[in-house]
Structure 1
Amino acid sequence: MTIQVLPEQLINQIAAGEVVERPATVVKELVENSLDAGACAIEVELEAGGLNLIRVRDDGGGIARDQLALALTRHATSKISLLDDLERVASFGFRGEALPSILSVSRLALTSRREIDQHGWKVAGSGLLDDGSPQPAAHPPGTTIEVRDLFFNTPARRKFMKAEGTEFRHVDQALRRLALTRFDLRLRLSHNGRRSFELAQAEGDTARAARIAAVCGDEFLANAVTIDEQRLGLRLWGWVALPSFGRAQADLQFLYVNGRNVRDKLLAHALRRAYHDVMHSQRHPAFVLFLELDPARVDVNVHPQKTEVRFRDASVVHDFLFGAVHQLLRRIRPEPGQHHRVEFEAPAFSTPDPVQSSVPLSYGRNVSTPSWPVREASGASGSAWPLYRAGFAEPEMPAALNATEDAPLGRAIAQIRGVFVLAENRHGLVLVDAHAAHERVLYERLKLQLAADGIASQRLLLPEVIRVGGAEADQLEAQFESLRRFGLILDRAGPESITVRAVPALLIKADLAALLRTLCGGADDAESAEHFNEALDAQHRILADIACRAAIKANRRLTVPEMDALLRDMEQTPNAGQCNHGRPTWVQIDADALDRLFLRGR
């Protein structure tokens, strides 16, 4: 076996396999270089999804004539020169591999001019740089890079490219992610001669919110709260969507570390934990978040495309991110002027048709409000009368609130279909899902009890023997002691049966067999053991199940004092905007929407 040095072009093509995945990665590398060059305006033009042409123009600092050829040489960069620089990287591209890698698989032309130069200079090549020296070229201050016929000399790679429309969408998404790294940047994208989007500079809060809406959509912005937390040398700022805005896919998750868009497992875990008891496990949160810290505390050189990072003090960063978002979500209280506002479409002005009068009107979320104010908690949750105490005499309740009083959820009026509470506040009408709201109230109380002395239990007058599988019985028996903290006192009654002697007072009339099945989850379920370990998440899952089973059920008739008590509890309960599964607990129908519904003032 003979050892030989590989040709330069083959070396660059191997590097291109790491850097140049598709047209979108080329655009990302070129635009990041423009940002590092101080560009304030960038224009991207594509043909055939970027496979035929990628042209990136910027108004950055430009490249000197004698530096142009060097820019297309591997490991040549202006961004680091010492090991200390590598440990404090604050730029995007810094390893000097992108341009030579792109050149190795395309026909590339680089034209640039500095402000102090009379004209620009151009170098070009196909796979390799041409032998000729830079040629004069007319060009404004800044840089233009043209990449034509991507993968022309590696046809096997080109065969793996998707359809033109698919490749263009990847470029569009990559640019939208980059658009959030610099709000002062003017960015334009064109495809096959047609403009796709153009973003102006975004200076000030209003303009920034407008850019967020342009990239993420108006609905995201209408369901988001702002965050700005600083401590321990870390800063987290941006927009966090409410749990009720949970997505079927993780398609609205933008996380930046020192301006660099990353996909980091540590940070992703912290954010999942922040949402863990306010969002359904199959839904995904949405956010645009910027984490800032000393570049020396983060290593961005652990992935070829620099989409992953490594933190020097990972646990501190994780806990900071989790704590900031978790506490933000807990602080949100009902604020009707900015919550789930239902906007009805006004019917066409015509003579009412009795046959059609029962057809439901369409509705949707009002997206006119850019973000939510955060209403701070005003104390521990709890009302004068716990709703779950069925069978107890009702205490005297205070006089009913007037709609004009400063109670966010107003006063109860009626119950609809045995499910929803209808209330009136000074903004209009409020609809509350009684079960979902009560579930959240109970869940938060149970968490407080568990954190204190454990959950009080109530002994059954007649212990109940429940048959389960042998493996399930073994699983439960191994956790008898830990389950006592949750108010569950169990004994082994036989090889395939469990005796329930005491349960939390909330579950005195619950289906105990169903409760045990939920706690087990089946002996073959690898995740079922998580219900019994001492981790906080596992404990909360048990509490969430208890709260769900104990909460008000559909078709239970509530009195007005009971409904008012629920509203007051919601106003004092953390995370009251959504139940434990992430469903919204209430919506606001404001007076303007009601006026439009009946054509008042028209």
Structure 2
Amino acid sequence: MEAGVRIKRLPQELVTLIAAGEVVERPLSVVKELVENSLDAQASCVEVQVEEGGIELIRVSDDGMGMSYEELPLAVSAHSTSKISSAEDLLRVVSFGFRGEALHSIGSVSEMEIFSSDGRSGGRIKVVFGEIEDRSLYAGRRGTTVSVRHLFANVPARRKFLRGPRGELLQVKEFLQDMCLAFPERTFVLREGNRAILSHLGGGLESAVFSLWQGEKVELDISSAELGELRADLLIVRGASSRRRIRLFVNRRRVEDKLLRAVFSWYKDRLGDAVFALMLSLPPDFVDVNVHPSKAEVRFRNPHLVAKLAERCLSKALPSGLKVAAPGVSVSRKVELDAEKAEGFGGLLELGLEEAEGEGALPQVVDGVKARFLGRIGEGFWAFEVEEGLLILDVHASYERIVYDEISRGLEGGSPESEGILGALYPIEEGLVEEVLRFRSELESLGFALEERQGMWELKAVPTWGRELSLDPMSALRVALKELEESSAMELTELPSDLRRTRMAHSLASRACRASPKLGESRISEAEALRLLERLYPSEDAPTCPHGRPVYSLISWVEVRRRLGRA
């Protein structure tokens, strides 16, 4: 080296570690790169297993296209990829990965072992802190399994900056939750050791929301907007618990973007308390994803147009009608009224106000509940005057709640409410007998009673929810069989039994109410409406339907006076 020359070329080993540090910051980085590789390989099922938050073990398995024995050494070398081949490709990136550095970087800071097969040939390769130690043939199913052990063991300084195992695990879980929302048609499983802590078995967006917020009363709303080739979809999950309220995606890639967050900052308070996921679908050449080491940030060709699209989508999600709720109860349902309905609703408000100021008691009394039936408003809503104020009842949601409770009691081993069929027995159609016998125990837990007589199977009793929904015995039976068949086909064996029961009751109640001719045509008498109100009101906790929507909203007389300027 010449005297006075201080600049020197770094050794390749150090260059590799520096480059790896840009790609691999923590266990989440490894999981992200490996899961995105699985998605690029068209995997329909991705399973992630971690130990000690991913610090000691990360294993990602998929059923994607896989790699051959010959491809494995290339896959773990620097800047090797199957996803781009020219500079022009960088202008239209459609895959998650494209730089060809993920596996090489991960192998530089861990002990990495890969098993992969493309269905014709397969191989195994082991890389220990940047050096290939072993390689062999592997005969297995199509797909890839990557195991990463002892992350940053050769870079102790990097390990000091990691969070504890729980903190690292939380980040991994949040990433996979986002993948469930971005790819709801695919299966994702996260295990801590051998314990599943997240399991989404595909099935679409509603199924993903159900999987991510199990046991919570959530409601999913979607707002969409388009500008030419650009599209935005805003998922709003009300009632969901999460420390991250806003999630951003561009072409299903999880990103961070200051412009989009700035647009959100103006709308989020008016949109209410919820989890929001903004999904932008843009032409590949409209967005540059090659601007950040971990591809977490993107650059838009026309940022102002993207901001306008996001603003249009968010503004569509704002409450556009009258919002009503009982005092102290969070609002999760909008009652939207057009001009004609709003005029009628205003008349009801005035009627309620006048009655509230009068001396007389409410004329209708049902089991101690004083109420006056005022009539139908909008589509599927009924109005009542009660002592506390004006009550709007969602008829469909109310019946769905009642049916859900009845079904749940039966599935949980209680005594489901059923009633005998007038005229003795009801013959079961020959084409349904095989299915009926297959699900006999489940049908009996739902309240159906079956009997064989002279070689023929007949219904002896049906659940009371069938009568309440005006379903004839065979219609109620078909609804139950359809639900049992679909639940069986989904193979939800990994879900806990109580969750399977809840899911069954939820889905069957919704299906039964959709099949009800009474709810479809709103043929409900005044007496029946009052009986329905009596079953749900008053209640210590505002009742909700299985989807988490309130079955009624109450406007207090104080609020009525305020709205009419008479407070």
* TM-score, length-scaled by structure 1: 0.56
SS at match of 1:110: strand
1:210 has 2:207 as partner: yes
Aligned to 1:28: 32
- Taking the aligned partners of 1:158 and 1:317, their CA distance within structure 2 comes to 39
Retained in 2: the 8 A contact 1:48–1:164?
yes
**Greater fraction helix:** 2
Aligned to 1:357: none
- Taking the aligned partners of 2:26 and 2:534, their CA distance within structure 1 comes to 52
Q: 2:131 aligns with which of 129, 142, 145?
A: 129
Retained in 2: the 8 A contact 1:254–1:288?
yes
Aligned to 1:289: 278
Cα distance change, pair 156–135 in 1 and its aligned pair in 2 (3 A):
same
- Taking the aligned partners of 1:341 and 1:184, their CA distance within structure 2 comes to 37
51-60 or 65-74, larger mean C-alpha shift: 65-74
> For 1:502-559, what per-residue CA distance to the aligned partner results, in whole angstroms no more than 9, with x for missing partners?
xxxxxxxxxxxxxxxxxxxxxxxxxxxxxxxxxxxxxxxxxxxxxxxxxxxxxxxxxx
Aligned to 1:406: 377
- The structural deviation recorded for 1:331 is 2.8
> For 1:29-85, what per-residue CA distance to the aligned partner results, in whole angstroms no more than 9, with x for missing partners?
111101101111111111221111111111110112222111112221111112221
Aligned to 2:314: 325
Retained in 2: the 8 A contact 1:220–1:241?
no
- The structural deviation recorded for 1:378 is 3.6
Q: 1:593 aligns with which of 532, 536, 549?
A: 536
Aligned to 1:44: 48
Gaps in structure 1 of 5+ consecutive residues: 343-362, 388-400, 416-421, 429-588
Aligned to 2:198: 197
Retained in 1: the 8 A contact 2:110–2:153?
yes
User: Which residue identity does 2:277 align to in structure 1?
Assistant: V
Q: Which runs of structure 2 are paired with 1:121-270 in the superposition (5 Å)?
A: 121-130=123-132, 134-203=135-204, 208-216=205-213, 219=216, 221-222=218-219, 224-241=220-237, 251-270=244-263
SS at match of 2:223: strand
Cα distance change, pair 229–62 in 1 and its aligned pair in 2 (3 A):
same
Retained in 1: the 8 A contact 2:374–2:383?
yes
Cα distance change, pair 5–71 in 1 and its aligned pair in 2 (3 A):
farther
User: Which residue identity does 1:39 align to in structure 2?
Assistant: A
- Taking the aligned partners of 2:146 and 2:157, their CA distance within structure 1 comes to 25
User: Which residue identity does 2:71 align to in structure 1?
Assistant: Q
- The structural deviation recorded for 1:201 is 1.5
Aligned to 1:424: 391
Q: Root-mean-square deviation (CA), in Å?
A: 3.6
Retained in 2: the 8 A contact 1:427–1:591?
no
Retained in 2: the 8 A contact 1:403–1:425?
no
- The structural deviation recorded for 1:196 is 1.8
- The structural deviation recorded for 1:595 is 6.7
Cα distance change, pair 113–127 in 1 and its aligned pair in 2 (3 A):
same
Retained in 1: the 8 A contact 2:270–2:318?
no
- Taking the aligned partners of 1:303 and 1:17, their CA distance within structure 2 comes to 13
- Taking the aligned partners of 1:122 and 1:318, their CA distance within structure 2 comes to 47
Aligned to 2:57: 53
Cα distance change, pair 303–325 in 1 and its aligned pair in 2 (3 A):
same
Structure with the bigger RCO (C-alpha within 8 Å, sep 6+) is 1
Aligned to 1:272: 265
Cα distance change, pair 63–5 in 1 and its aligned pair in 2 (3 A):
farther
User: Which residue identity does 1:309 align to in structure 2?
Assistant: V
SS at match of 2:290: coil
* TM-score, length-scaled by structure 2: 0.60
Retained in 2: the 8 A contact 1:73–1:100?
yes
- Taking the aligned partners of 2:186 and 2:253, their CA distance within structure 1 comes to 15
1:311 has 2:300 as partner: yes
- Taking the aligned partners of 2:71 and 2:213, their CA distance within structure 1 comes to 39
Gaps in structure 2 of 5+ consecutive residues: 351-371, 396-531, 542-567
Percent of aligned positions that are identical: 33
Aligned to 1:449: none
- Taking the aligned partners of 2:207 and 2:184, their CA distance within structure 1 comes to 10
Cα distance change, pair 305–218 in 1 and its aligned pair in 2 (3 A):
farther
User: Which residue identity does 1:424 align to in structure 2?
Assistant: L
Q: 2:120 aligns with which of 112, 116, 121?
A: 116
- The structural deviation recorded for 1:328 is 2.7
- Taking the aligned partners of 1:100 and 1:256, their CA distance within structure 2 comes to 26
Retained in 1: the 8 A contact 2:200–2:207?
no
SS at match of 2:151: coil
